[in-house]
Amino acid sequence: MVESTAVRGRPRSRAIETAVLDAALVELGAKGYAGFSLAAVAAAAGTTRPAIYRRWQDKDALIVDAVARLADTAAPAVSGDAFADLVAELDNFRHCITIAGALPLAGLMLSDGLDPDVREVYLQRIVAPRRARIRALLDGAVGSGLLASDADLDVATTMLTGSWYAHGVAGRRPPRDWAARTAELVWRACGGRVPAHR
């Protein structure tokens, strides 16, 4: 079982921890799980391997905390306009993926050699909360009569964020208005009418 909290010892330095976690995400995205190097992380963060080991017991513990940090960005506020809230959620998703350079992590999480505990943290801390928020928005829209009662919301939820990854796999940069266009496509596919102000 991976311990995702720092080991006990001297007081933590928040600046060092932040630098190490940022560097770990870059290293993970660039080299994958197998190529992940604590020495490279330490160098990029301007610290040492012993300093990392004072805070994390091993590579897996650091990776768990680094991946979980992707979930730290606050969720967008819910306005009550279901379609606008869906666009805001997708914009937030794009922001989180972009600032962390996290697209390669999606493929990493599907790899056979990944530690199961790392994958579980990724699913529970990053994937599950966003999927739950998107599904709640769609459920609410169905309940309000904005979307068809027989709409396949499981597929819709997956398509909304999945289209971003599909662009990446195809080697294409998503358009700047990706969030609005994707929300509109899925909204219409679920029987909804896009608000006129869109």
pLDDT digits (tens, 9 = 90+) for 12-48: 578 899 999 999 988 887 887 778 999 999 999 999 9
> What would the two tokens of residue 50 be?
């012993």
Rg (CA), the chain: 19
CATH of 73-189, one of 1.10.357.10, 3.50.50.60, 3.40.50.20, 1.10.10.10: 1.10.357.10
Every domain of the chain and the residues it spans: 14-69, 73-189
Residue 155: its pLDDT value, please? 97
pTM greater than 0.85 (yes/no): no
Q: Which residues contact 104 (CB under 8 A, 6 or more apart)?
A: 28, 29, 30, 32
Q: Which residues contact 119 (CB under 8 A, 6 or more apart)?
A: 109
Helix 38-45 vs helix 14-31: crossing angle, to nearest 10: 130
Q: Which residues contact 9 (CB under 8 A, 6 or more apart)?
A: 54, 55
Average pLDDT of the chain?
A: 85
pLDDT band at 9; cut points 50, 70, 90: very low
pLDDT digits 0-9 by tens, 154-190: 999 999 999 988 888 888 888 999 999 999 999 999 9
> What would the two tokens of residue 21 be?
């976690």
* Statement: residue 5 has pLDDT above 60: no
pLDDT digits 0-9 by tens, 61-91: 898 888 777 766 678 888 999 999 999 999 9
Instruction: Report whether 168 contacts 149 (CB < 8 A).
Output: no
Q: Which fold has domain 14-69?
A: Arc Repressor Mutant, subunit A (1.10.10)
Phi, psi of 155 (to 5 degrees): -70, -40
pLDDT digits 0-9 by tens, 111-131: 777 778 878 877 888 889 899
In the chain, what percentage of residues exceed pLDDT 70? 88
Q: What angle do CA 189, 190, 192 make, to 5 degrees?
A: 95
